[in-house]
Structure 1
Amino acid sequence: MARKDGKVLVVRFSSIGDIVLCSPVIRCLKRQSGFEVHFLTKQVYADLLQHNPYVDKVYSIRASITEVIDDLKLEGYAHIIDLHKNLRSAELQWRLRMKAFTFDKKNIEKWKMTSFLKAKVNLDHIVLRYMQAVEPLKVGYDGQGLDYFIPRNLEPVIPVSGDHMICFAIGGAHVTKRLPTSKIIEICKGLKGTVYLLGGKEDKNAAEAITRAADDVVDFCGKLTLAQSAWMIKNAALVLTHDTGMMHVAAAMQKPIISIWGNTVPEFGMNPFYANDNKPLSYRAEVKNLSCRPCSKIGYDRCPKGHFKCMEWQDAAQIISMVDKLLS
């Protein structure tokens, strides 16, 4: 119920998955308060917010907040909700002469998990930690999971059939979060039905190698917009994905997910997040009990140890079996 007038600025500059993970904050703010909700992000991610009915206005930057600071000052915000918590968002607070509500990034705990200590910690999910930022405004999590809104006028990417459609999001921001191409080929060869590869232009070489080696695989890497990729996921029977943005898009669509983990671990609090009353059967594929894992909270361009066991040792047959169980 509305109780206040004014505007709130929610800040998260990047990236796809993190912005999708912010969606419960946006929804709960809009539904539980009388605030007008604005969002500040990078220009490349602005489309993620444009079709969200809980966002009243989107501001975006290419490189610097100086691009929008004059306009932001004119808005007269009642509050800033800082869901990025970095130097840029600190600069924003200084320029607006406002202190933001924010959350605990748990960086010390993550360091203990990735350092020589290899501490066994299971962090609260990042969505619940994001919600900490709006608790002072008497806004709480509603249990309804993540949101992702596809434009209503988006044309179907492919004809929707009754067949089991499998989407495989093969990308990832860092090499150590992605399966080797040879392992993806092994998995695709064992799957029943058509597999649709999703990814960016940077995944094109891997996708071409996969389609050459495995039958009944369709390459959409670098060919679809983000909204079109989300449409594919919405219409899929299940989604295979690394620990990346498409995993969170799939969770927003309430899809069964086989999430494949390399140097990162679900215990960071970034695993698929579903609505409380709708949790589809899903699986995690990870190599347990490696002394070197997790080695980073983000990822590397190469395995620091040189062996890449966290992905090279992934059991392709087990992943294929997971798919069969979810489709049966």
Structure 2
Amino acid sequence: MQLPKKILVIRFSSMGDIIYTTPVVRCLKQQLPGVEVHFLTKPAFRYIYEGNPYVDKLLLLKDTLDATIKEIKNEGYDCLVDLHSNLRTAIIKFRTGIRSYTYDKQTIKKWLSLKLRKQLLPPVHLVDRYLKAVAPLGIKNDNKPIDYFLKHNYSLTDLLPATHQDGYIGFIIGAAHFTKRMPNEKIVSICRQLNKPVVLLGGKDVKDNGVFVAEQAGDLVYNACGMTSLDESVFLVSKAKAIIGFDTGLTHIAEAFNVPIASIWGSTIPELLGVQPYKIDHSLVAGVSISCRPCSKYGLAACPKGHFKCMREIDERQIVDFVGERQAI
């Protein structure tokens, strides 16, 4: 088989899923001599690959699929790597006729695992599932972490108060869906037990949550939610002594910096999607075993049972102890 010289890797969303494609892109670039690697994603996620030295060109999904397909044809790729595997990518592969390698989503097994609440999928990380798609090209896992390249040189003095510049724990309190987030009262309780400087991280959607937590938890907690850009938030993650976070993109991005991570899971479970912390030295996956969990692959707007035990019953002490054992500030 003739090895490709110009490859397009495709993954449209979401933040967490795209960040886990970075080892594939790195391995392609480093293991195929002289290969040119391009990446196609949605405009909203361009920041994940901007500045990535293993990508020669970043393509963004256009307003129409026809326009995107036209651009792909004009580029003259001799290979497509489909790491999304949905109807849109199927149409792209069919209409371009380019040789392709596709990630096996195992959709039926995932659906059955969710409905039966049984783990029918092997405990294989998403990175390794992605890499399996390019194994026919001779690509092997280099066993290195995911990649994220900061866009600018930031300073803690510009982003944090003096009380938090000498060391802090990052607590990522945002997530796309309610059932992925811990109730504010439990976040407050954990922050009080830590008794160390804590920086709350998240978007504008959880700014008010951050205000509540900071007011209730005391002066050791600083609310940065909605106050920093995403790239600045990643910088703060990279400088933290440890990270506490939910099932959300920023928590996954933290893995690029080998920071100890306490990963907290509510209605979702990492085994279903294969997104447990990857290639970091110290991590904790916190969750409770109850009959109704998982109730969703991606999270819900409310607990279907109304009790929200999957978050309310998580052992706070194990999180506090993990952070305390890993990093003394």
Distance 1:136 1:83 in 2: 15
Counterpart of 1:271? 276
- 1:247–1:259 CA contact under 8 A, matched in 2: yes
Distance 2:282 2:90 in 1: 40
Counterpart of 2:79? 79
Q: Deviations over 1:274-309 (max 9, x none)?
A: 1xxxx4222121112x01111222111111121111
Closer/same/farther in 2, CA of residues 62 and 181 from structure 1, 3 Å limit? farther
- 2:157–2:165 CA contact under 8 A, matched in 1: no
Aligned residue type for 1:166: I
User: Secondary structure at the residue paired with 2:101?
Assistant: coil
Distance 2:246 2:257 in 1: 16
Counterpart of 2:27? 28
Distance 2:189 2:314 in 1: 11
Aligned residue type for 1:37: V
Question: Counterparts in 2 of 1:263-302, with a 5 A limit?
Answer: 263-268=267-272, 269-274=274-279, 279-288=280-289, 290-302=290-302
Question: Counterparts in 2 of 1:40-119, with a 5 A limit?
Answer: 40-61=40-61, 63-116=63-116, 118-119=118-119
Counterpart of 1:143? 143
Counterpart of 2:178? 175
Counterpart of 2:263? 259
Closer/same/farther in 2, CA of residues 119 and 23 from structure 1, 3 Å limit? closer
The unaligned stretches of length 5 or more in structure 1 are: none
Correspondence 1:156 to 2:161? no
* Structure 1 position 5, deviation (Å): 5.7
Distance 1:64 1:306 in 2: 41
Counterpart of 2:203? 200
- 1:24–1:127 CA contact under 8 A, matched in 2: yes
Q: CA RMSD in A?
A: 1.9
2:234 equivalent among 230, 235, 242: 230
Closer/same/farther in 2, CA of residues 326 and 108 from structure 1, 3 Å limit? same
In the alignment of these two chains, the number of paired residues is 320
User: Secondary structure at the residue paired with 2:292?
Assistant: coil
Q: Deviations over 1:213-251 (max 9, x none)?
A: 111211111222221111111111100011111222111
- 2:110–2:120 CA contact under 8 A, matched in 1: no
Aligned residue type for 1:171: G
Aligned residue type for 2:98: M
* Structure 1 position 78, deviation (Å): 0.7
* Structure 1 position 62, deviation (Å): 5.5
* Structure 1 position 163, deviation (Å): 3.5
- 2:173–2:201 CA contact under 8 A, matched in 1: yes
Query: Bigger shift: 312-321 or 40-49?
Result: 312-321
Q: Report the TM-score, using the length of structure 2 for normalisation.
A: 0.91
Q: Percent identity?
A: 42
- 1:164–1:327 CA contact under 8 A, matched in 2: no
Distance 2:271 2:298 in 1: 13
Distance 2:121 2:7 in 1: 33
Counterpart of 2:248? 244
Closer/same/farther in 2, CA of residues 162 and 204 from structure 1, 3 Å limit? closer
Question: Counterparts in 2 of 1:185-224, with a 5 A limit?
Answer: 185-215=188-218, 216-224=220-228
* Structure 1 position 112, deviation (Å): 2.5
Distance 1:282 1:64 in 2: 42
Distance 1:117 1:45 in 2: 32
- 1:22–1:127 CA contact under 8 A, matched in 2: yes
Distance 1:207 1:64 in 2: 38
User: Secondary structure at the residue paired with 1:68?
Assistant: helix
- 2:262–2:285 CA contact under 8 A, matched in 1: yes
* Structure 1 position 99, deviation (Å): 4.9
Distance 1:113 1:74 in 2: 41
Q: Deviations over 1:249-280 (max 9, x none)?
A: 11111110000011112322110101xxxx42
